[in-house]
Amino acid sequence: MISVGDFSESRLTVTEKDTAESWGSGTLPVLATPRMILLIEQTACDVLRGKLPEGDTSVGTLVDVAHVSASPVGSEVVCRTEVVEVDRARIRFRVTVTDSSGDVGTGYHERFVVHSDKFMAKANSKLQ
């Protein structure tokens, strides 16, 4: 069961492969925004691990996060996602990403619980 207050934390030490320069989202050797978003989604998925019925999964549907500070190569960032609302299949997370100097990213992320088979059948129907 998923409950308000459930949370997960993960850590990432920024390497060259995590940079805006590497991801193509900029030219500087700092944590790329899309890499930060991936970390957020992975951490939110960790909250849900083992809490969904068999055959179900979650899909990301909203990311509303401000990337407010740069984290250079070698810095460690900590991502925390906490469930702040559960509305049937919609799960809303408060998101914070910090480094040793403070906030790096803040905002919200939403995921929907879906039936894997039905979801993929609908997605695959676009190929017909």
In the CATH hierarchy, which fold is given to the domain comprising 7-127?
Thiol Ester Dehydrase; Chain A (3.10.129)
CA 57/CA 26 separation, integer angstroms: 32
> Residue 120 to residues 2, 50, 56, 57: CA-CA distances in angstroms?
23, 21, 11, 11
Among 15, 16, 27, 41, the active-site one is 41
CA 44/CA 38 separation, integer angstroms: 10
pLDDT in tens, the chain (128 residues): 999 999 999 999 999 999 999 999 999 999 999 999 999 999 999 999 999 999 999 999 999 999 999 999 999 999 999 999 999 999 999 999 999 999 999 999 999 999 999 999 999 999 99
Active site residue 19: no
Active site residue 41: yes
Among 13, 15, 16, 33, the active-site one is 33
Active site residue 106: no
User: Domain boundaries in the chain?
Assistant: 7-127
Among 67, 82, 109, 110, the active-site one is 67
Question: pTM above the 0.85 mark?
Answer: yes
CA 91/CA 85 separation, integer angstroms: 6
Task: Return the pLDDT at 65.
Answer: 98
